[in-house]
Amino acid sequence: MELNEEQLAEFVQELGIEIINPDRRYWLIRAGKEGAFFNEFLRLGFTGIGYAINDLEFLKTATKEQLKDKIATILTDSENQIGQIASKIYNFVHEVKKDDVIIMPSAGREIISFGIIEDSDIYISDQLLLEESIIAANSQIIPDKRRKVKWIKTTKSENVPAKVLLHLFSPHGISLIADKEIIELVDNLISDLFLKNSEAHMTFNVKTEENIDFDSLTDYLSILNNATRFSANYFKEKTKPTVKLNLNSPGPISLEAGIYTVIGTVIFLALLGCDFEISALGCKFKVKSEGLYKYIKLCLEYIKEKEEREYNRNLSKLQIKEPEVIKKIREDIEKEEESSDAPIDS
């Protein structure tokens, strides 16, 4: 293996592969009662909670006990309810961190949005732009304690794993998600290729809503197995690749393996999916690595022997959505091939 760590890092950066901090946390934060402010949060790029305290300096310095004492002077709720409110405010101000993931359900959990906290500060604002939000504010407290959020994915609930949806039945306005299985499902849902805990994760989404053709599925998995084994053997990586299937359609196929194996698999599938025969000399990557170049040449030789696999046919039949990075590499290769075939002006 001649691809060193510096070259690997360059390749990861060039392709825009996300590196997830294993310490980041995941929060369910509702957009008011019954998701009344869902579109407001989404449109203006924030998340927020209400309750009666809006003294920013006090919020930033108060302990949970001080929050409880303050709330007790404003609200007439029971001591237990006051404690819960204090914990929610404290968590929103102090425990939610920059780069944490926010999960926000709409009314009836029909639509689910996923976002990333953009900075470390909270701010106070009762501004509302949408008419539906202004109407909702007549019957509930405006979420005026806010944090900026970059909403990265909004999808129908039918596209969200059942276990994640079940967790959204939690009655709390803000709650920490600690279940490792749910966290893994969310990671794969919001990013189709990422690195976490020294391992790489890649997701292919089967989009067909019809019954899955068994031959096409097994053929595709065989190709995926060949790609991962070929890559793992070349880069001498010992981490054994694993695949998780959701046998419902639509549903994901998730691959977890060592970073070299997954990057090799990305290149392998990008080359395999090209619509025409390409030469190794036409494959120019910005990562200048003899090891990577040799790998590409070997890929092309191997793929030529296995062209009866009809990779594109299986992609089409199963309506598989590949990770964007595979499409990017394939487009770059095809552009490079087209430019190398262009006639030279006389």
Q: Kindly report, residue by residue over 154-174, the tens digit of the pLDDT.
A: 999 988 988 999 988 887 889
65 in the same domain as 202? no
| Domain stops at, among 125, 160, 190 | 190
How many residues make up the chain in this entry? 346
- What number of other Cβ atoms are within 10 A of residue 112's Cβ? 20
Q: Using one digit for the tens of pLDDT, what is the confidence trace for 114-139?
A: 999 999 999 999 999 999 999 999 99
How many percent of the chain have pLDDT more than 70? Answer: 85
- For 285, residues 6+ apart whose C-beta sits below 8 A from its C-beta are 11, 14, 292, 296, 332
For the stretch 170-213, pLDDT in tens is 878 899 999 999 999 999 999 999 999 989 999 988 887 777 77
Residue 345 resides in a domain: no
26/41 Cα distance (integer angstroms): 17
178 shares a domain with 106 = yes
Whether residue 89 is contained in a domain is answered as yes
Residue 341: its pLDDT value, please?
52
- Please check whether residue 238 lies inside any domain of the structure: yes
In angstroms, the CA 227 to CA 298 distance is 12
Residues 334, 205 within the same domain: yes
Compute the average pLDDT of residues 70-76.
Answer: 85
User: Domain residues for 135?
Assistant: 25-190
CATH for 52: 3.10.590
pLDDT-based confidence at residue 274 (cuts at 50, 70, 90):
low
> What is the pTM (predicted TM-score) of this model?
0.83
Residue-level pLDDT at 50: 92
For residues 115 and 199, state if they share a domain: no
Judged by DSSP in three states, 258 sits in strand
Tokens of 326: 């595979």
Which of 156, 190, 224 delimits the end of a domain?
A: 190
Q: Is residue 230 part of a domain?
A: yes
Can you give the pLDDT at residue 334?
67
Q: How many domains does the chain have?
A: 2
122 and 211: one domain?
no
